[in-house]
Amino acid sequence: MSQAKRSEVKQHAHGAFCWTDLGTTNAEGAKRFYTALFGWGVEEISMGPGMSYSKLQLESKDVAALYPLSDEQKAQGITPHWLAYVSVTSADDIAKKAEALGGKVVRAAFDVFDVGRMTLLQDPTGAMVAAWQPRKHIGAQLVGQPNTLCWAELATTDSDVAGQFYTRLFDWGTKTSEDYGMKYTEFIAGGKPTGGMMQMTAEWGSIPPHWMVYFAAEDCDASASKAQSLGGQIKVPATDIPKVGRFAVLQDPQGAVFSIIKLTNPAQ
């Protein structure tokens, strides 16, 4: 797992994770939680009558967003969740390619006003991911510093099938290690690690395949404790990953799960 250079981003490479947003049942409650936890500011964007999209910012730069789940989404059983976005040159081409590779196009490519074009996909093992074709909005404008998105990780029931799907879909390279008795695959986009993949075991129980988003932390233990004090839950307590860093898995008050990590050797 690697952390990107500390800088403002002007453009994300094709295949790089570029954005994440939170669909939630209580937008105001979620804003209170995350702004207190990460020090984020909020810029409200009107998406039409009764619809809003809250951009979350650090140093006045976009780093993530959240929005209220619609009644239709809730009726479909969609629960609060963070969604990871991959930057692509063509959302339409990616959707067609995903289908040809055995994935499912959950939502066909569509324009998001004049800021970009996106599609929502489900891989053959069931995990959801979005593809983002940037126009006015590139995605996260800050990366590689505390309280910004620094990694996305796929937990899947079939790493062979998922690996073949994603490497062909996004033209990812791979780097696989088997340290500490576990196989872990890093995905490479534009010459840099952008995400990872692990095989789920029986210990995961009924948790479905999913992409987990990671936010960089200055102090993993302190951030986990703060999340708990703000009404969140610690699902996995702060844990060391040798030679990588210290991470924790957290759940916000509405139920969305995310991770934080303090990397041992972040890129400079």
CA atoms within 13 A on the CB side of 78: 17
pLDDT of res. 154 = 98
Q: Is-contact 158 197, C-beta < 8 A?
A: no
Residue 124's pLDDT band, with cuts at 50, 70 and 90, is very high
pLDDT of 180 = 63
- CATH code for the part of the protein at 7-134: 3.10.180.10
pLDDT tens, 191-208?
999 999 999 999 999 999
Q: What's the Cα-to-Cα distance from 174 to each of 91, 98, 245, rounded to whole Å? A: 22, 19, 21
Domain over 144-263 is classified CATH 3.10.180.10: yes
Cα→Cα distances 83→122, 128, 178, 212, 256, Å: 12, 8, 28, 8, 10
pLDDT at residue number 51: 80
Q: Does residue 103 contact residue 96 with C-beta atoms inside 8 Å?
A: no
Residue of higher predicted confidence among 242 and 186:
186
Average pLDDT over residues 52-74: 95
61: nearest Cα among 113, 7, 23? 7
7-134 and 144-263 have identical folds: yes
Report pLDDT digits (tens) over 70-122.
999 999 999 999 999 999 999 999 999 999 999 999 999 999 999 999 999 99
- Looking at residue 264, its pLDDT comes to 86
Q: What is the pTM of this model?
A: 0.95
Q: List Cα–Cα distances, 17 to 124, 197, 230, 240, in angstroms.
A: 19, 14, 28, 24
Domain residue spans in the chain?
7-134, 144-263
Two structure tokens written together for 13: 């490479």
pLDDT tens-digit series, residues 227-258: 999 999 999 999 999 889 999 999 999 999 99
Axis crossing angle, helix 220-229 with helix 27-38, rounded to the nearest 10:
150
